[in-house]
Amino acid sequence: MLATLLSATLVALEGRVIRVEVDVAPGLPGFTIVGLGDASIREARERVRGALRNSGFIHPPRRITVNLAPADVPKTGSSADLAIAVGILVGSEQFTARAGRAALIGEVSLGGEIRTVPGLLPMVAALARRGVRRVIVPADGEDEARLVSGLEIVPVTTVGDAVAVLRSRRRAGPMQPARVELAPVPAAGERSEASDGIRGPQLAAAIPPPDLADVRGQVEARRALEVALAGGHGLLMIGPPGTGKTMLARTIPGLLPELSDEESLAATIVASVSGEGPIRGLIRRPPFRAPHHTSSYAAIVGGGRGLIPGEVTRADSGVLFLDELTEFSRDVLEALRQPLEDGRVTIVRASGAATLPARFQLVAATNPCPCGHAGEEGRCSCAHGVPERYVGRISGPLRDRIDVWVSLVRMRAEAMVAMVEPEASVVVAARIAEARTRQRARPGGRLNARVSGRALRALAALRPETSAALADLANAELLSGRGTERLLRVARTIADLDASVAVEIEHLEEAARWRPPSVRPALALAV
Amino acid sequence: MLGVGSGPEGAAESGASDAADRHVPPLWFVPSARPGLSDADRDAVAILLSVHGLGPLTLGRLIDALGSPSEVLRVAARPGASKQLVDASRAEDGEGHAMPLGVAEAIVEGAASADRLLGEIRREGLRVVAQGDPDYPARLFAIEIPPSALFVRGRLDSLAAEHVVAVVGTRRPSPGGRRVASRIGAALARAGATVVSGLAIGIDGSAHAAVVGEGAATVAFIGGGHGKLFPRAHDRLADAIVDAGGAVVSEYAPMTLPSKGTFPQRNRLISGASDAVVVVEAGARSGALVTASWALEQGRDCFVVPGPIDAPTSAGSNGFLRDWPHLARIVSGVPQLLDDLGLIGAAALPVTRLPDPTDPASGQRIRTKSKVRPATSAAVLTGRSSSELAVGEGLVHGLVTVDELVAVTRLPLGEVLRALTRLEAGGLVRARGGRYEPAGQLAAANPKAA
């Protein structure tokens, strides 16, 4: 007998509805799955066989053919396991489904338990858009599935549960217009672990971000960080090891404002697809990703058979922190150009192409030279010219995308004593949030880092004397041609931090401190 | 020259006669010096200089014996020339050694590949300046073994300036040494002196770069051929030196590899082309000490910047001061150095002139050796905002990071950052990877008394 059920699979960041047709026919016992499935789909045979046997059902010794339709969509992952298992039971007439059309999503274990799958959220959303009224989902994915409104979510833990649900006569409620709805914003303090923002390979969710008050000194770098975060500017910190570059970067999650509704939804979908563990609600904290410098090209950019999102996508509307920037492979650094330019990344593989969002803010840190001690008296063991070449590894296009540059130096012990009391993260975060609100309120609502060059001139609202000061700075050889726009961009952010409508001379003067080092060739010549 | 009684005219006169003593050497001192070299002879000298193993002394004897450089080449082109060349290289009075046969054969070989050598010279964009040419540096002419010719990229006229000072030092300086080299280089350039050095990494490079930064001419004597410029990291600096009106000079043919032996030989040119040598930092066995020794031997003034007694970068320079107590002079400050070099009057520094004790109008008696006192940082910073003043003074007093400036000046961070930008735009501050240092006039100034 033929059984037809609905399930879903994932293509890049989008869910696709698939029809699971199971035909249990007389003949030589066998189990075939057709329909552009990958290795994990073929392995579903073994999982389903075990799950049925160990749940008290019979895996029928007959000719079983499973077709996943439509045939042109490549299917990956284990999301159709449950539908296949239930399809076999219906096809072999082990029970009769009485409930109306329901879709099933979930991976089965050999013991018959049902586990959640990456991308549950976009899959449920796709089913909702198709008008499905009832979805059976793994219990541990219930919270995630419930982010989608307009359809009934039925959590189940075992294959037996799923059969019981389908057997009952209870029908799904009246159909509602389906939409992905936003869960209420969790109040501060009751944020769940997963929405806590720090979700990175290095910086595990369990560790709360360090507070800026814990960072001693480095006022220059702290200010650079504040300016960069306020305007979404790329930031590069250069300094010897132990000067606090990584520590400063790790304070970022505590400094960024919460995501907007739209960003929040996108971030949650990316988190869901990336399989970062159970999602308890919409992710409100901007992502902070800190991949290690040995990460592969595919890990950073995305790819693989299932077009899995890479770090640039996982950092979408958040921060991508590249510690030891110069140690990343050249391919990886070059691949950052497109996302930095367009805010998205296009991955083309044999299995298809996908364009994924990648509007991340780049924060990077590097040592000044391979040994790390350039500029420190008698400590650098690098050969002549090596330090210059080291930072020179950052290619021109990437340099152009970094608006804020700052050098950190080891502090002298005697200077530590007189140090000013550092500000706490909450104080700085409030200023950043305010500056961002000002930028979002403008037409287009873009952060200064992503405003076009022409729009920038208008936003700067330079008075004639300020324009003259800008020209003076350029004439003093503090700026290159391209540097002028960069200076104006950063000055706009400083003015926003200052709640100033126009960019004033003082903002330009501060912005000049954040320009890349060594723009004066003559001074950079002496090695 | 500091005689109180001598009027301005007297000073100018004595200066001129000093210069004459130094700059125009007696011709008899150099055996092969003959004015008015023809183009063919100049090319011939260049070709002969490319011959491995043929030094200026032997070359001089050959030219004396055969008449002219092109004659030497002509002889070398004949069959069986090697023996004839060996004979010719013996001095007339039979004194001195004849050159080995191998060198004579190399000359023959060189004569055969003359076109290739001349092509290399042209490709590198070089000019050959031989003894007797009008822009052959007069000071170099006077050293014991002057090079027969120089391979020059750029212009040599800056070596004829009234004051030429060499600034040399270690290849691995401390940041402080680098800073001092830049300050001295910039101050000398602003005072109108030509700075000579060796284009090496470290002190040499800092000094050259500071002069180029001032838009002035500087001359680099390199220890190998132009085609093998070492270090390669200074390619751009070399270009900048030439662009700024200075020159990169070598006594070696374009494709000569720099080696252990060429650098000490080159050092005699650095000191020889200058009136004085300033050693900024030198480790125990630094080549800068070789230059300093050459300076003493050639009768040039020798100045040494003293360093901490436990700093390896100053071990050699401090030792030199100890070894030559009456010959090597201490550099106690940049303005003081300019004063000792007789440059202070020419320096475009705001100089505080003390009241003239002989002037009855001043009504004051000042007991001081020097008539002039270098500008104070306060004088350099006059007319600037209070935050710039505070930040500028802080830097002069040895603060280096924004943290320190904020802590000491008690100014808001934004104020400090803006003051740094304004001072930097004014050329008074330079940023170096998170550290800030005084530049330009502020670097040459003495700290305001605290």
Contact A476 B425 (CB under 8 A): yes
- Listed residue (B281, B264, B355) closest to B318, CA to CA: B281
**CA distance linking residue A9 with residue B271, whole number of Å:** 80
What is the 3 state secondary structure string of B164-225?
A: EEEEECCCCCCHHHHHHHHHHHHHHHHCCCEEEECCCCCHHHHHHHHHHHCCCCEEEECCCC
Place of tokens 């991949």: A291
A258 to chain B nearest CA, in Å?
Answer: 27
What is the 3 state secondary structure string of A132-148?
A: CCEEEEEHHHHHHHCCE
A239 touches B: beta carbon within 8 Å: yes
Contacts of A518 in chain B (CB under 8 A): none
Higher pLDDT, A435 or A263: A435
- Listed residue (B179, B173, B440, B143) closest to B294, CA to CA: B143
Q: What pLDDT was estimated at residue A478?
A: 67
B122 C-beta neighbours (distance < 10 Å), count = 10
What confidence tier does B111 reach under pLDDT thresholds 50, 70, 90? confident
Per-residue pLDDT of B54-101, as tens digits, reads 888 888 888 888 888 888 888 888 888 888 888 888 766 666 677 888
pLDDT at B386 over 80: yes
A509 touches B: beta carbon within 8 Å: yes
B268 to chain A nearest CA, in Å?
Answer: 23
Contacts of B434 in chain A (CB under 8 A): 220, 238-239, 375, 406-409
- Listed residue (A266, A10, A247) closest to A118, CA to CA: A10
Q: In what order do the strands lie in the sheet with A288-289?
A: A288-289, A319-322, A361-366, A235-238, A404-407
Contact A378 B408 (CB under 8 A): no
First to last CA, chain A: 81
- Closest partner CB to B237 (pick from A217, A406, A526): A526
What confidence tier does A477 reach under pLDDT thresholds 50, 70, 90? low
Q: What pLDDT was estimated at residue A187?
A: 36
> What value, to the nearest 5°, has the Cα angle with vertex A158 and ends A154 and A163?
65
Contact A220 B201 (CB under 8 A): no
Mean per-residue pLDDT of chain B: 81
Average pLDDT over residues A93-108: 84
B262: Cβ contacts below 8 Å, ≥ 6 apart = B223, B224, B252, B256
Alpha-helix runs per DSSP H in A402-480: 413-417, 425-440, 453-460, 464-475
B208 to chain A nearest CA, in Å?
Answer: 8
Residue pair A217/A306 in contact (Cβ under 8 Å)? The answer is no
Residue pair B249/B156 in contact (Cβ under 8 Å)? The answer is yes
Contacts of A368 in chain B (CB under 8 A): 433
- Contact map slice: A 397-416 vs B, CB within 8 A: 406-409, 411-412, 415
**CA distance linking residue B204 with residue B185, whole number of Å:** 10
Contact A526 B178 (CB under 8 A): yes
For the CA atoms of A236, A432, A227, A312, the dihedral, rounded to the nearest 10 degrees, stands at: 30
Contact B435 A517 (CB under 8 A): no
Q: What pLDDT was estimated at residue B355?
A: 43
Give helix B175-190 / helix B203-213 axis angle, nearest 10°.
40
Residue pair A134/A97 in contact (Cβ under 8 Å)? The answer is no
Which of A304-308, A433-437, B345-349 tops mean pLDDT? A433-437
pLDDT at B384 over 60: yes
Per-residue pLDDT of A119-160, as tens digits, reads 999 999 999 888 888 899 999 998 888 888 888 899 999 999
Mean per-residue pLDDT of chain A: 83
* Amino acid letter, B446: N
pLDDT at A108 over 50: yes
A512 touches B: beta carbon within 8 Å: yes
High-pLDDT (> 70) share of chain B, %: 83
Q: What pLDDT was estimated at residue B371?
A: 44
DSSP state of B98: P
Average pLDDT over residues A212-233: 92
Q: What pLDDT was estimated at residue A193?
A: 37
Q: What pLDDT was estimated at residue B292?
A: 95
What confidence tier does A362 reach under pLDDT thresholds 50, 70, 90? very high
Q: What pLDDT was estimated at residue A188?
A: 36
What confidence tier does A415 reach under pLDDT thresholds 50, 70, 90? low
Half-sphere exposure of A55 (CA within 13 A, CB side): 28
What confidence tier does A493 reach under pLDDT thresholds 50, 70, 90? very high
pLDDT at B142 over 70: yes
What confidence tier does A200 reach under pLDDT thresholds 50, 70, 90? very low
- For A43-47, A274-278, A447-451, A485-489, which range has the lowest pLDDT when averaged over its residues? A274-278
A190: Cβ contacts below 8 Å, ≥ 6 apart = none
Average pLDDT over residues B231-258: 90
A421 touches B: beta carbon within 8 Å: no
Residue pair B89/B98 in contact (Cβ under 8 Å)? The answer is yes
Higher pLDDT, A284 or A83: A83
Q: What pLDDT was estimated at residue A325?
A: 92
pLDDT at A311 over 90: yes
A362: Cβ contacts below 8 Å, ≥ 6 apart = A234, A235, A319, A320, A322, A336, A340, A401, A402
A401's tokens = 């995308």
Higher pLDDT, A70 or A411: A70
From residue A296, give the alpha-carbon distance in Å to each of A293, A299, A321, B348: 8, 5, 15, 58
Q: What pLDDT was estimated at residue A377?
A: 64
pLDDT at B272 over 80: yes
Average pLDDT over residues A65-79: 88
pLDDT at B6 over 70: no
Contact A412 B435 (CB under 8 A): no
CA B226 to chain CA mean position, Å: 18
What sign does the CA torsion over A314, A318, A321, A322 have? positive
Higher pLDDT, B396 or A414: B396
Contact B231 A384 (CB under 8 A): yes
A352: Cβ contacts below 8 Å, ≥ 6 apart = A11, A12, A74, A307
**Ordered DSSP codes for B223-254:** SS-GGG-SSGGGHHHHHHHHHTT-EEEESS-T
**CA distance linking residue B46 with residue B117, whole number of Å:** 8
Average pLDDT over residues B395-420: 88
- Listed residue (B196, B201, B47) closest to B115, CA to CA: B47
A82's tokens = 């449950």
Contact B421 A509 (CB under 8 A): yes
Do the strands A302-303 and A308-309 form a parallel or antiparallel pair, or are they unpaired?
Answer: antiparallel
Q: Which ipTM value was assigned to this complex?
A: 0.79
Q: Minimal Cα distance from A471: which residue of B?
A: B425
What confidence tier does A518 reach under pLDDT thresholds 50, 70, 90? low
Q: What pLDDT was estimated at residue B329?
A: 93
Average pLDDT over residues B159-178: 92
Q: What pLDDT was estimated at residue A206?
A: 45
Backbone angles phi, psi at A405, to 5 degrees: -120, 140
A471 touches B: beta carbon within 8 Å: no
- Listed residue (A136, A112, A138) closest to A57, CA to CA: A112
**CA distance linking residue B383 with residue B378, whole number of Å:** 10
Q: What pLDDT was estimated at residue A232?
A: 94
Q: Using DSSP, state whether A152 is helix, strand or coil.
A: strand
Q: Using DSSP, state whether B421 is helix, strand or coil.
A: helix
Contacts of B420 in chain A (CB under 8 A): 513
Average pLDDT over residues A487-509: 94
* Amino acid letter, B339: D
- Closest partner CB to A220 (pick from B205, B208, B402): B402
Q: What pLDDT was estimated at residue B348?
A: 43
What confidence tier does B102 reach under pLDDT thresholds 50, 70, 90? confident
**Ordered DSSP codes for A222-267:** HHHHHHHHHHT--EEEE--TTSSHHHHHHTGGGTSPPPPHHHHHHH
Place of tokens 């020179």: A392
What confidence tier does A180 reach under pLDDT thresholds 50, 70, 90? low
- For A246-250, A298-302, B2-6, which range has the lowest pLDDT when averaged over its residues? B2-6
Q: What pLDDT was estimated at residue B370?
A: 44
Contact B435 A512 (CB under 8 A): no
Q: What pLDDT was estimated at residue B91?
A: 65
pLDDT at B369 over 50: no
Q: Minimal Cα distance from A217: which residue of B?
A: B403
Contacts of A384 in chain B (CB under 8 A): 171, 201, 231, 233
A61's tokens = 């010794």
Residue pair B183/B67 in contact (Cβ under 8 Å)? The answer is no
A464's tokens = 């004639």
A420 to chain B nearest CA, in Å?
Answer: 6
Residue pair A244/A376 in contact (Cβ under 8 Å)? The answer is no
Q: What pLDDT was estimated at residue B148?
A: 87
> What value, to the nearest 5°, has the Cα angle with vertex A123 and ends A117 and A126?
175
Contacts of B400 in chain A (CB under 8 A): 409
Contact B433 A238 (CB under 8 A): yes
A14 to chain B nearest CA, in Å?
Answer: 46
Per-residue pLDDT of B291-347, as tens digits, reads 999 999 999 999 999 999 999 999 999 999 999 988 899 998 888 898 889 886 544
- Closest partner CB to A375 (pick from B175, B237, B421): B175
- Listed residue (A218, A213, A290, A256) closest to A429, CA to CA: A256
Contacts of A503 in chain B (CB under 8 A): none
What confidence tier does A389 reach under pLDDT thresholds 50, 70, 90? confident
Which of A226-230, A351-355, B362-366 tops mean pLDDT? A226-230
First to last CA, chain B: 33
Higher pLDDT, B89 or A199: B89
